[in-house]
Structure 1
Amino acid sequence: MFLLACVLLHGTCLAAQTTLDLWPGVAPGSEHWRQHEVVTRGTPLGTVVTNVVTPTLTVYLPDPAQASGAGVIVAPGGYCIALAIDREGNEVARWLQQRGIAAFVLKYRTQEKREPGIPKNLDMDRACRYGIADAVQAIKLVRRHAKAWGVAPGRVGIVGFSAGGMVASGALLQTDAATRPDFAALIYGAPFGAMPAIPAKLPPVFMAWAQDDPIARDAVATFHEVLLKAGTRPEAHIFSAGGHGFGMHIQGTSSDHWIEEFHDWLQAQGFLQRARPPAATPHDHTMPD
Structure 2
Amino acid sequence: MHLGGRGILSPQLCALLPVERHPVPSLFFLDDQPHEPGFELSECTTTALFHFYDELQDISVQASALNRHHRPRGTLADETGVQRISANIADHLNILWLARPRLLCLTPRHNANFTGTSDSACDLLVALCRICYFAETVYIDRAHSKDHSTRSDAQQSMQQMRQAFEEFSTSTTNQHLDAALIWPLFLHAAESRTRADVNWALSKLRSIQNPLWQSEIVTTVVQELTEQQLSRGERVGRWFINTTVPLPLRQAEMPYVETFRPPP
More strand by share: 1
Interval containing the TM-score (normalised by the shorter chain):
0.3 to 0.5
Q: TM-score scaled by structure 1?
A: 0.30
Q: TM-score scaled by structure 2?
A: 0.32
Of structures 1 and 2, the one scoring higher in RCO (CA 8 A, sep 6+) is: 2
